[in-house]
Amino acid sequence: MSDPSNTADVPVDVAAIMVEIREGIERRRRQGLRTPEELERLLEERLRSYGEESQIDPRLLKQLLHPSHGWNISTDYPLRTQRRGLVGGLVRAAKRLVRPFVRLYTDHVFNRQAQLNLYYMYFLQDAARQIVRLEGEVGRLRQRLEELERAKGAA
């Protein structure tokens, strides 16, 4: 005789469970409800489309959508020159000599700009996230309104 508390003896219909889960997801979608993952995917699509419409450098857009802050400006920018040979060496040496004096005037500006960039980036991402969430909510409310109107018309 088998123990009813032993669930190992009970066959599990995985296919039926998966169908039920998919139907539940589809039902919530029709109601306008989105999962957090779907909202994040919609947000990324929205941010990507904004970047493409503004025609910014695709490499910068990729950095903006990445969770790191590598896209932001930094005061430790490298010293470079395209010049080769003796002239290039002289230019690099001159840049190294004047860099401390130039940084006295530029570091605080770059630091402030980096802070503003970060603030605006978080603000805009949150605003876009809220818009995507509210669009889903409006869709759900429209569907509910249509259901109520159909029920009222049938009555």
CA distance 98 to 81: 15
Q: What number is the average pLDDT over the span 85-103?
A: 84
Residue with tokens 């857009």: 61
Give the rounded distance of the alpha carbon of 18 from its chain centre. 29
Question: Burial level of 34, CB count in 10 A (0-12/13-18/19+)?
Answer: buried
Q: What number is the average pLDDT over the span 52-73?
A: 83
Identify the band that residue 1 occupies on the pLDDT scale cut at 50, 70 and 90: very low
CA distance 21 to 61: 36
pTM of the complete model beyond 0.85: no
pLDDT digits (tens, 9 = 90+) for 103-133: 788 788 888 888 888 889 889 988 998 998 8
Q: What number is the average pLDDT over the span 64-72?
A: 81
